[in-house]
Structure 1
């Protein structure tokens, strides 16, 4: 709906752009075609205009929709009234969806380019087509009118029709005295009665058919039973609408009433058809999800959900377009205007398209599915729903995060639910006081533990990997087979406790974070005399009187 309104708004905006001449001085503007005031530019406009004039009983105006060029001396209002009576009692005109809304008419109907079929009249000898023809008016413009050939056939057609069933049953006052929207009140009453009768008749027929089908397929879980049960009411509504349209023609309800009801019945018919498809899509989707779950193909659940929503989205869009067409809006022309307003719409819908493509990527690649526990960037959570635009994630804090699929498809996704085994890889720090023999015995016991444990994938690896700052490092590398995280944590806890027991049995222990401080006293340099000072040691007065040098005490630390 937003796209349609944007298109219409774009058309209005472009229509209001002034011509290059500014004040109408452009020569091309003078030759622009003027719309026909009676709406005869298209076959659909011609039919609508004639019916509206007949509803107002303005037969002089209605005669302007007839090509009387070949009828010399014919009085136009009388001919128009004659055509209305023929349509009331035995004829019909096409709905808006079937009538062409193009000035050129329907070029693919097998008729000459200037002719279109707009209805038919039932006679005892068969059906006679009603033809519209494109002619040139006195101003040189091309307009559509009831063809001269059809006008010439009206007298003979008038003699073949008889009074309608409705007119024969209704009293005079309800046929001519009281009118509503240009239709006798009795004809509106007939429409209501026919609607009720049609619904009851369709209800009885459909119920009988369903009873027969359920008797043949008497299983409670039958796919046909589920689909038909879910679609029973819209099916009845759909056939009621079309039966009402047929019975209004057969009973001779006024053509004006039928045209008023045409839009209503078409809209109800499209709603009912969309409703049927909606129910069928739901039933098929539920059945497919149940079958995939039963077969263990859980990876397909997200794809089925996405396809179901995509079909529903397309169904709603189609129903809206059909409904607008039934109301008289030219949606085809609006969609064709995408060439003009497409750039603005594409820019505005850029993010929406990006998220839709992201949804297709998630469904196609299937990096995750509903129920998976994943990590998206810095976010951890469980997938609750993958929609057409966004994905809902339940975090560990039990909050709900909604991430657009375009953004999600660009993030690295770590899916914890898809792993087939869990990595168990502790590194033990043992004291440096552990002897090589103790270490060899301990590592042999650890290897036996990994081999004997039923959930550890063999072979496990136990190796001394180096010398740490304050410990001897022993690495354990193995995988644990577990269904979920809880089972893995249970196995990990059991292995860790057993490792503690093995370390204790080996007579060693785990290293603590510690530092060793060494204290030492450095010795001072020796006071031995340098050779250059030796002569000075024998100078007079420098000795002890006996010629010996003074003794010096060595200072030591």
Structure 2
């Protein structure tokens, strides 16, 4: 094997001058795919150009020549119909097909170009006379017109032919070469090629058990090298993950999110470098290269999704960490809800693109999600309803976290507003979890947002009370209210009036606005006023009356939590 490679290198060196001369005198011919003849001849010309460029590269390995080799391979892949393959594997499969096909054609009898359907002798092309497909004589390899897609009307080697090229290659590789080539075994040359950082002398020094043993069309040493590179990247990523987790424990919320974000970013950097080193320097080929490309694509897209998820939460928590937004404020919870929705949508988009990259059709997946999503929406109708209910609560802002509200016949303090439900703490300490859809439909009273408390008292005196005593009671009561500093002093406020006599009783109406949002303060002031009223009644020898029809008096409902605004009350 070593002797074979040495002879091969000597032969390559002998043709460098010829290759350079050809390059100077013959410009790069464009790829023509307008007929089977043009496609066939374009393929041969493009591979011959690749042979010359690779011979120059072997004579003087440098990174400057690698892009030209990649362009040569890209041009060759343009004569192959690879659209049915996953995007992540098209380059690898196309490159392998190049070596297989070139070695097969080298062992077939030379073809007269005139025998291949194409332009007439005068250069005119009658597309109506061209067949839909043409088969290379003596083989099942076909060139066919592409019927649809972006390359409709072009002639390319068919997907079926490309799929079976490896099988055809191994059945004919032992036959003599009938068409002279610089590299009689192009496929073997491909799988042994390396990048500029790996000298050929190092490869030749390896034992034959590593260079001459092939698994999945790759030398054993390349498989081991790829595995070592990937495991090294995973080990470094694991060490960094442990370090980042340890550092995040001592950081703030935004700092913790940053250290968590660095884990997928480091993985992306490591795998990007590893992929470059594997593709450009180790240069795996064949089935092993295809499997490696799929693995790297899966890891890359999963890591990108992870990084996008962490990045969105990092941005949101960095905003929340600013002094203008309290940790448990309404805006903080709104931003976290937006982060959940945005991160979920971003991850879905990245994963769908990744699925398309490795061969799972994204459009079919989206269509399946549409049909399955309809069924899922029916099954999770309440969950979706609660999600939109939470969005409506964030949009309308009827209450904020930490505020006291009344919903239905219950009162509680808001502790959390989630995407599906809200957590409310009742005055007795119990925790209520209420679906957002139910809260959005309820009449909600926000006690924490009130600017004042309203005192409304109806007092009934006996009908035989002395008018002078009643007048004096009104004067003293008005003076008491005016002396209270937290009562609104405005036109008509506070109010103490006789509003009527019914059922033989005198009805007094006492109204006042207490300038406080704290209900406990309001109750304290109201209690002080009512106790003073009882003292006045005792001094003036006035008696409270009892309505003859007690049912006619509207009694206010009791408040077990005791945080409601004072309803209309009647006293007798």
Q: TM-score range by the shorter chain?
A: 0.5 to 0.7
Deviations, residues 410-431 of structure 1 (Å, cap 9, x unaligned): 2222222221111111222223
Aligned ranges for residues 71-150 of structure 1 at < 5 Å?
73=108, 107=150, 112-113=151-152, 133=156, 135=158
Which of 219, 226, 229 aligns to 1:194? It is 229
Q: Distance in 1 between matches of 2:463 and 2:322?
A: 61
- Secondary structure of the residue aligned to 1:328 is coil
Structure 2 stretches of 5 or more lacking a match? Answer: 1-80, 111-145, 167-178, 242-250, 550-572
1:174 pairs with 2:197: no
Aligned ranges for residues 85-484 of structure 1 at < 5 Å?
107=150, 112-113=151-152, 133=156, 135=158, 162-163=193-194, 165=198, 167=203, 170-177=206-213, 179=215, 184-195=219-230, 198=233, 228-255=258-285, 256-291=287-322, 298-325=329-356, 328-337=359-368, 344=375, 347-348=378-379, 350-458=381-489, 459-469=493-503, 471-484=505-518
Residues 194 and 281, structure 2, Cα contact 8 Å, conserved in 1 = no
Q: Distance in 2 between matches of 1:346 and 1:325?
A: 25
Q: Distance in 2 between matches of 1:389 and 1:328?
A: 35
Residues 461 and 506, structure 2, Cα contact 8 Å, conserved in 1 = yes
Larger radius of gyration: 1
Q: 1:242 Cα shift?
A: 1.2
**Matched residue, 1:84:** none
Change (3 A) 1:153 1:378: farther
Q: Distance in 1 between matches of 2:87 and 2:351?
A: 25
- Secondary structure of the residue aligned to 1:321 is helix
Q: Distance in 1 between matches of 2:469 and 2:337?
A: 61
Residues 133 and 145, structure 1, Cα contact 8 Å, conserved in 2 = no
Residues 183 and 254, structure 1, Cα contact 8 Å, conserved in 2 = yes
**Matched residue, 2:545:** 511
Q: Distance in 2 between matches of 1:469 and 1:154?
A: 122
Q: Distance in 1 between matches of 2:165 and 2:437?
A: 54
Residues 423 and 479, structure 1, Cα contact 8 Å, conserved in 2 = yes
Q: Distance in 1 between matches of 2:448 and 2:180?
A: 79
Q: Distance in 2 between matches of 1:513 and 1:51?
A: 97
Deviations, residues 203-244 of structure 1 (Å, cap 9, x unaligned): 9999xxxxxxxxxxxxx9897x67643422221112111111
Structure 1 stretches of 5 or more lacking a match? Answer: 1-39, 76-102, 116-131, 207-219, 516-557
**Matched residue, 1:82:** none
Residues 195 and 240, structure 1, Cα contact 8 Å, conserved in 2 = no
- Between Structure 1 and Structure 2, how many residues are aligned? 402
Q: Distance in 1 between matches of 2:374 and 2:325?
A: 47
1:44 pairs with 2:79: no
Q: Distance in 2 between matches of 1:494 and 1:168?
A: 102
- Secondary structure of the residue aligned to 1:44 is coil
**Matched residue, 2:535:** 501
Residues 373 and 383, structure 1, Cα contact 8 Å, conserved in 2 = yes
- TM-align CA RMSD: 4.8
- Secondary structure of the residue aligned to 2:448 is helix
Change (3 A) 1:450 1:230: farther
Q: 1:44 Cα shift?
A: 0.9
Q: Under a length normalisation based on structure 1, what TM-score does the superposition of the two structures give?
A: 0.59
Residues 325 and 332, structure 2, Cα contact 8 Å, conserved in 1 = no
Residues 43 and 144, structure 1, Cα contact 8 Å, conserved in 2 = no
Residues 461 and 477, structure 1, Cα contact 8 Å, conserved in 2 = yes
- Secondary structure of the residue aligned to 1:457 is coil
Q: Distance in 2 between matches of 1:442 and 1:453?
A: 17
Deviations, residues 106-127 of structure 1 (Å, cap 9, x unaligned): 73xxxx4467xxxxxxxxxxxx
Q: Distance in 2 between matches of 1:170 and 1:105?
A: 49
